[in-house]
Each structure stands twice: as C-alpha cells, then as structure tokens.
Chains A and B, each alone.
Chain A
Amino acid sequence: MEITTTSFKHCDMLVLKGRIDSSTAPQFEQAVKAITDQSRFKIVMDISGVDFMSSAGLRVLVNTQKTCKRYNRGEVVLAKIPANIQSALELSGFIPLFKVFDDQIAAVGNF
C-alpha cells in the first residue's frame, strides 16, 4: 500500500492506495500516529485508491476515530469511498461513526 500525508492549516489528509490487510495495516497505523503524535486530531482520509480493506484496516479507522474524538479535539472524516469498501463499512456498522464526503475539497472544508 501507498500512503501520502499532506498537512493543511486546519487538518491533515492521508491519501491511501492499494491493499490494507493484516500485513499492511501497521503501516497505516504508523502514518496515523505520526499525525496524532503532533497533537493534530483533525484528519481527512481519502480512500478512493484503496482496492481492498480487511477488518485489520477497519480497526485502524475506528481506533483512530476514538483517539481523535476524545475530549472533542477533532475527528476523522472519509472522502471518496469505493463501493466495495462502503459495503464492508456498512457490514461493520461503522458508517454512522464517520462523516463521509464525495471529494477531498468538501472533506477538508469541513474543518
């Protein structure tokens, strides 16, 4: 998988690409930690380029949301969810836990 991080004034954005499974989820977790370790908790995740996400990836998403929403200091929002991953998020019951935007601009503008 490939991860690109971009820092904006009011939030950070992760653009994820490829396959997120038990082998690559730790890399995803590290990329998130690099942001939250700087006390930045407003994060946009663009997952349009993710072609596969197992529960290991979903676990990172929900754990990051828990970290960011603590003390109302921020949140994770999602941009551009592929149909297969939308179905996985629905099956996990995770859709109500995230704001979802159609594109990066709307997601970044949320903060």
Chain B
Amino acid sequence: MATMVVSGRYDNLVKIGDFVRQAAQDAGLDSFSVYQVETAVDEACTNIIEYAYGKEGAGDIECTCQATPSQFVVILRDWGKPFNPRKIHPPNLKAPLKKRQAHGLGLHFIRQWMDEVDFQFTGETGNVLTMVKRKEKTG
C-alpha cells in the first residue's frame, strides 16, 4: 500500500498520475489498464479541485493505491464539499457537433473504465472515492 498527499492544484495532476501509473505497473496491470486507471484518477482529481473545493489550492487530495493478486484499488480522499454523482447526467454521445457538451465526460470515463466505483461522504473524515480495476485473468 502506498499513499501520496498533494495540494489540490492542476499542476499536481502529473505527480498523482506518475504515482498511480507506477503503482499500477508494479501491480502487474497491462498497459491499457494502466492508462485507464491513470485517466480515471486524473478525472476524479480534476473533479475534486473543480467541484469539491471549487478552486485550486483550497485543500488536499490524498491518494492511496493497494494491490491484491486479483485487483488494483485506488482510494481518493478530499475534505471539500460532498458532491452527488447521480446529479451529473451522462453525456449524450450521439448529439450533433453543435450540441456536444464536453462536460460530464470525466465521470463517464471513471464509470466506464473502472470495474467498481464507490463514493462515500462521511462528514469529518472527508469524501472517499474508491475505484477498483480487476486484473485480466490469465488462463
């Protein structure tokens, strides 16, 4: 298990990305799964800065990676406003160009590319997002 804490700023996304990519590679995920995990974490951290904290530099993001033989788990914690993911509508992927909204894509990536996604809002211990990527079965 490894944990990193950074200030919630966009220029720290690369640090969290490097940390998670390394942990996912060490856990033995295939390269596309590593990319999917890195994307999900990047999108989740962007949402924390943009929505939970409402701006950059307003609070920390704690990122923990855990590997088991069958799966890779990332836990992100913040101490900002709780946000209800059910209020975010899935993007319309078939809309004509003029009507495309590029917002809401981050959560779409998280939901589609991770195998399990769980949001917990527990008050003083912060908001906790747990994301699981299962390892491919080999034989």
Contact = CB atoms under 8 A, between A and B. Distances in A.
Contacts of A97: 97, 100
Interface residues of A, number: 23
Contact of B109 (A59, A69, A84, A88): A88
A52 B17 contact: yes
A102 to B, nearest CB: 21
B113 interface: yes
Nearest to B9: A23
A62 interface: yes
B39 interface: yes
Contacts of A105: none
Interface string A48-66: 0000101110110011011
Interface residues of B, number: 29
Nearest to A53: B39
A91 B93 CA distance: 9
B97 A66 contact: yes
A22 B13 contact: yes
B91 A23 contact: no
Interface of A: 19, 21-23, 52, 54-56, 58-59, 62-63, 65-66, 69, 83-84, 87-88, 91-93, 97
Given A54-B106, A55-B102, 9 more contacts: A23-B14, A52-B38, A54-B39, A55-B43, A59-B103, A62-B102, A63-B102, A93-B94, A97-B97
